[in-house]
Structure 1
Amino acid sequence: MIRLTQFEFAKIITRKSVYLALAGLLVLLVLYACLAHSGPLNGTSYYKPYEGPITAEKVKVAQDQIQNYSEETQNRYGVFYDISVFSPFKNSIRYDEHGNVMERTVTVSEIHYNKPWGYLLEYIDQFGVLFMMVMILLGLAPVFAEEYALGTAALLRSSKRGKGQLVSAKLMASMFYVVICVAVFTSVNLLVYWLRFGNLAGADTPIQSVGMYFYSFDYEFSPYKFTAIQYYGVQLVTHLVGCLIFGCIVLLVSALSSTSFIAMVVNVALVGVPYLAFDVMNFNPGWATWIEEFSFSTMMRVTRFFLTPVSYSVFGLELSYLNWYMIIMAVVTIGVILGTYRTFRTREVFS
């Protein structure tokens, strides 16, 4: 079984398209990380004099500096904006999309430099999803469909291990491939931002205080008491699980398709249509909300689960959004895996 899995894994990673895509995506990642956002490279020195508890004196200095903002002081603007946002002397109320008052579970009362983590967290949600979808589609879409196209499916199914162990080997090799792709992206991402900022400072600060841009604190109202590095680990594991689920779906479509091209087109449609509808065209009728919230790509992006406290009541059972999503995806994944086994075992050879 180990030899068979190794052979199937070798078939995946020896595809030229995988290496071409990997090289292109890594170059794009580096260019985008270095050129797309002009934010401060290393703002540690700007934050150093103001680190620690937010006091009335710091708030007064921040207000004065913000009023006198200029191009010469833009690199120092971040620390003053942070102080103004989390000032304990500010009586501001914010509302969610339903008009409910948003309350902070974790109150930020100190200022520390943690900008590198804002970029690291954002890139799993954005470029990390693109990277993994491309790599998974190119690597896994041909896994079963290629056997049909080459005419080897019937031969494989008639072999000693063709109706059970072969599918298991393909599945394990595919999952190992997904894990390696996530590890490659994570390693390069950490290296790029460590080199760009010169440090990964602020790892022990709460995620509620982590912002990528001066005006964006996505986790300000998150109910989870994670530090930046703790949440990065949680985000990474959740992202990996989402990628593994997507990989299983790609394998099922591959087993149902006569060629790799058809498998690729169908999987791209499964990913692209919801993205275009909800993110690009802002298609958001009430009846379709559940499609966006429980899309399989939501887990790959991760962020939605941890932004604000959301719960659902189903048949009198109250569970958090994350828990309900995991239950649904567990059921879907089991069905997808069983469907892949059954499809490859019983499907007639394509003409």
Structure 2
Amino acid sequence: MIRHELYKILSRKSLWLVMGGCLALFIFFDPRSSGSNETLADPVYESLYADWGGAVTPDKVDAAREAMRASDAGDQSLLMEEGNVQYVVAVAGNSAAELVERKEALVQSLEREPTGTYAHRESKKELDMLNALENPYGFYLVNGWNSVFALIEPFFSVLLLAIMILLGVTPVYAEEYTKRTAGLILATKHGRRKIITAKLIAALMYTSIIFFLFHGTNLVLQFFIAGSFSGGDAPMQSLPSYLYAFSFDHLLAPYDWTIWQYFLVTMAVQLVACLCFTILVVFLSMLLKQTLFTFFLAGGLLAFPFLLRQFGMDEGFFAYLNSFSYLEFIRVERLFQAYEAYNLFGYPVLYPIMLVIIFTFISGFLIYGSFLYFRHHQVHR
């Protein structure tokens, strides 16, 4: 029964045409496959790694700043690549100093806040996480991994995944009503339970297939572009590559993970987010009974927080609405860029964990609501 429902989804030729177009978009028109990656593969950086690579040290920071000052004054001529690396080392030194300052501030907070209060628990949790980091800053060659992560966070990848989920899942129930077979199915012995279960599992399997196809293609593509996935044991704070985007999104990340560990975590969380969104789409398909209405309503619910942000509605209640939305959940990488915790019964719960808890509860409620709806659904002859 599950196999039959999955076949019904996967046998739509239009779905695979769209899938092929989506894959072609980021394979043939991805800016990461052009000049920037040629620079990333420059062997000059590999030679510079021998002197500057690894965790930052005071001696490296002093040497980098001195060379940068000499270059600015015209006393010394540097290659662009060497100047980039020295800039990375200088920034890493600043980040290391800021980490020490933050830990000192948290120690003071612990001394100031009474034991057992939420403020004390939150400060202790953050301090414990930062103490586990040791020295996560430095210069690492993470070209391949940087390109892999470039697909995960941008809105473009979220849009592609959402479109494929909507196209594949919205007809799950609506198609039965359109063909007028819903009444026949519900009149069967197992129509109100086993078929509902089969449709849900098939939809979740379809989403998983699409998810791994997207990211599997990206892994293969970036391996051929970068040539390797070296640097996987570097701290996640070295992502993305400072050398090219000059982006420092992960400097404040409090998680003691290597890059490959971070990749597995982000993949797991984004997959859970996509599955939760799939459950919502299945539920709406059951209620609305029309593919087009389901497509636009589910898509609207996903995009609504983004639209609010575009109109400057990102404060107070709307800030929580934006933070705890399917869109932010699927964009996953932003969840791990800084320490952020919420009060749950007096205990600090990290933002990513809170999202998983909330959407697991919502998804469970939607699944229960589906069975409850069909239990009392009347079969019309």
Which TM-score bucket, shorter chain as reference?
A: 0.7 to 0.9
Structure 1 runs not aligned, ≥5 long: none
Helix, strand or coil: the match of 1:87? helix
**In the alignment, what sits opposite 1:166?**
195
* CA distance, structure 1, for counterparts of residue 334 and residue 161 of structure 2: 18
Report the counterpart of residue 286 of structure 1 in structure 2: 316
Q: 1:229 to 1:162 in 2, by over 3 A?
A: same
Equivalence for 2:246: 215
Superposition pairs of residues 90-239 of structure 1, within 5 angstroms = 105=130, 106=133, 107-126=135-154, 127-212=156-241, 213-239=244-270
Q: 2-side partners of 1:265 and 1:319: how far apart? A: 33
Deviation at 1:172, TM superposition (A): 0.9
Superposed counterparts of 1:222-261, under 5 Å: 222-261=253-292
Distance 1:207 1:350, change over 3 A: farther
Deviations 1:54-105 (A, max 9, x none): 413344335555777xxx9545554232112112698669999xxx9x9993
Instruction: Please report how far the alpha carbon of residue 315 of structure 1 lies from its aligned counterpart in structure 2 after TM superposition.
Output: 3.7
Q: Does 1:302 align with 2:299?
A: no
The structure with the largest alpha-carbon Rg is 2
Question: Post-superposition shift, 1:314?
Answer: 3.6
Q: Decide whether aligned partners of structure 1 residues 46 and 330 sit closer, same or farther in structure 2, where only a CA change above 3 A counts.
A: same
Q: Name the residue aligned to 1:275.
A: 306
Q: How far off is 1:125 after superposition?
A: 1.6
Equivalent residue number for residue 48 of structure 1: 47
Distance 1:337 1:229 in 2: 33
CA pair 223-168 structure 1, distance change in 2 beyond 3 A? same
TM-score (norm: length of structure 1)? 0.87
State the 1:200 CA deviation: 1.6
Query: Structure 2: how far apart are the matches of 1:267 and 1:285?
Result: 24
Q: What SS is found at the alignment partner of 1:24?
A: helix
Letter in 2 for 1:335: F
Q: CA deviation at 1:209?
A: 1.4
Corresponding pairs, count: 341
Match of 1:30?
27
Alpha-carbon deviation of 1:301? 1.2
CA contact (8 A) 1:120 1:189 kept: yes
Residues 177, 289 of structure 2: 8 Å contact kept:
yes
Cα distance in 2 for partners of 1:234, 1:89 equals 24
CA spacing shift, 1:295–1:94, aligned 2, 3 Å: farther
Distance change (3 Å), C-alpha of 1:349 and 1:146: farther
> Which one of 9, 12, 16 corresponds to residue 13 of structure 2?
16
1:188 is displaced (CA, Å) by 0.8
Contact in 2 for aligned 1:66/1:80 (Cα 8 Å) = no
The answer to whether the 8 A contact 1:63-1:84 is kept is no
Cα distance, 1:82–1:230 mapped onto 2, change above 3 Å: same
RMSD: 3.0
Distance 1:342 1:53 in 2: 56
8 Å CA contact 2:270, 2:332 repeated in 1: yes
Q: What letter corresponds to residue 283 of structure 2 in structure 1?
A: L
Correspondence for 1:57 among 63, 77, 80 = 63
Q: CA 1:129/1:60 → structure 2, altered by over 3 Å: closer, same or farther?
A: same
CA contact (8 A) 1:147 1:153 kept: yes
- Residue type matched to 2:53 in 1? E
Query: Which residue, 65, 87, 91 being the options, matches 2:93?
Result: 87
CA shift at 1:270, angstroms?
A: 0.7
- Output the TM-score relative to the length of structure 2: 0.80
Offset at residue 132 of structure 1 (A):
1.4
Question: Residue type matched to 1:45 in 2?
Answer: V
SS at match of 2:249: coil
- Does structure 2 retain, via aligned residues, the 8 Å contact 1:258–1:350? no
CA contact (8 A) 1:132 1:182 kept: yes
Change (3 A) 1:37 1:310: farther
Alpha carbons of structure 1 residues 37 and 269: separation in structure 2 relative to 1, 3 Å: farther
Question: Does the residue aligned with 1:308 lie in a helix, a strand or coil?
Answer: coil
For each residue in 1:168-222, what CA deviation from the matched residue of structure 2 results, as whole angstroms up to 9, or x when unmatched? Answer: 1111111111111111011111111112222222111001112244321211111
**Deviation of the 1:344 alpha carbon:** 3.9
Structure 2: which amino acid aligns with 1:172?
A: I
